[in-house]
Amino acid sequence: MIFDTHTHYDDEQFNEDRETLLAHLQDNGIGTIVNVGASLQGCQNSIELAEKYPFIYATVGVHPDEVGSLNDETFTWLRQQCDHEKVVAVGEIGLDYYWDNESRDTQKKWFIKQLNLAREKNLPVVIHSREAAQDTLEIMKEYAKGLNGIIHCFSYSVEMAKEYIKMGFYIGIGGVVTFKNSKKLKEVVSEIPLERIVLETDCPYLSPVPNRGKRNSSLNLKYVVEEIASIKDISPEEVIRQTEANACRIYTKCGKSIS
Ligand SMILES: [Zn+2]
């Protein structure tokens, strides 16, 4: 079944129909979901969702736009959440020079601290990197050695994707790959092995064609699957099977419950 490695079902855009939507996902071929924490409140909400639904897991981490909320006290809280039985990774963490919401030094400081937290807790990481290709790679080379995880919503070059794959990381592919103007991402999918790709929605954001611009959900992943299958000239079933196996290899706590 489809494994959605990156969702935000705690977002207020789902307030009206969250329960109904989540209740129908498994009937529609969606097997497992990881709800990703981006703010401290988002981490708390993700854990609550994971406690409520057997097929939902959580990550905890603070997005570069939100690192202003981190201090010794909140970081201690974050560290404690890593021990929850349904917390499967630290993320989403990284650098965002598109919004530049926090100073770049502050972003880097908390990115490194959260990479170290993942190592301490023996968890994989979910990386967010926007318009910060070089700095992200430099920090990862120095501080993410021996870690694994996902470069989420990958937006860089084929060469950069190969660098991360060499380090043992996986590449998160979502709705953007279906956009007409996403030539670069289609090339990345074509050039890297299926064994290194995982599916993600980042919902409610980044809905694929033909639902571009609307609220996204895991139900739309079938369009991403079709696009990857057509780029790689393989069957959609093969895409679903392999990306699910990949996701279970990263989020090892989910793998146990599936097998
Ligand atoms: Zn996200």
pLDDT, one tens digit per residue, over 24-49 is 999 999 999 999 999 999 999 999 99
| CA–centroid distance, residue 36 to ligand 1 (Å) | 6
| CA–centroid distance, residue 42 to ligand 1 (Å) | 11
pLDDT mean over 131-142: 97
| CA–centroid distance, residue 38 to ligand 1 (Å) | 7
| CA–centroid distance, residue 185 to ligand 1 (Å) | 18
| CA–centroid distance, residue 125 to ligand 1 (Å) | 13
Contact partners, residue 8, CB within 8 Å, separation at least 6: 35, 36, 38, 42, 202, 203, 204, 205
| CA–centroid distance, residue 37 to ligand 1 (Å) | 8
| CA–centroid distance, residue 239 to ligand 1 (Å) | 22
Give the residue among 157, 140, 89, 141 at the shortest CA–CA distance from 117. 89
What does the pLDDT look like over 49-75, one tens digit per residue? 999 999 999 999 999 999 999 999 999
| CA–centroid distance, residue 30 to ligand 1 (Å) | 18
Q: What is the pLDDT of residue 254?
A: 87
| CA–centroid distance, residue 204 to ligand 1 (Å) | 9
pLDDT mean over 191-207: 98
Q: Which position has the token pair 């057997």?
A: 54
| CA–centroid distance, residue 81 to ligand 1 (Å) | 18
| CA–centroid distance, residue 164 to ligand 1 (Å) | 19
| CA–centroid distance, residue 245 to ligand 1 (Å) | 21
What does the pLDDT look like over 143-188, one tens digit per residue? 999 999 999 999 999 999 999 999 999 999 999 999 999 999 999 9
| CA–centroid distance, residue 64 to ligand 1 (Å) | 11
Q: Are the beta carbons of 208 and 12 closer than 8 angstroms?
A: no
What does the pLDDT look like over 203-249, one tens digit per residue? 999 999 999 999 999 999 999 999 999 999 999 999 999 999 999 99
Q: What percent of the chain has pLDDT over 70?
A: 98
Name the band, by pLDDT with cuts 50, 70 and 90, for residue 256. Answer: low
| CA–centroid distance, residue 175 to ligand 1 (Å) | 13
| CA–centroid distance, residue 7 to ligand 1 (Å) | 6
Is it the case that residue 255 has pLDDT exceeding 80? no
| CA–centroid distance, residue 216 to ligand 1 (Å) | 12
| CA–centroid distance, residue 35 to ligand 1 (Å) | 9
| Average pLDDT value over all residues in the chain | 96
Question: Which protein residues have a CB closer than 5 Å to ligand 1 (ion)?
Answer: 202
Please give the model's pTM, rounded to 2 decimal places: 0.96
Q: What is the pLDDT of residue 124?
A: 98
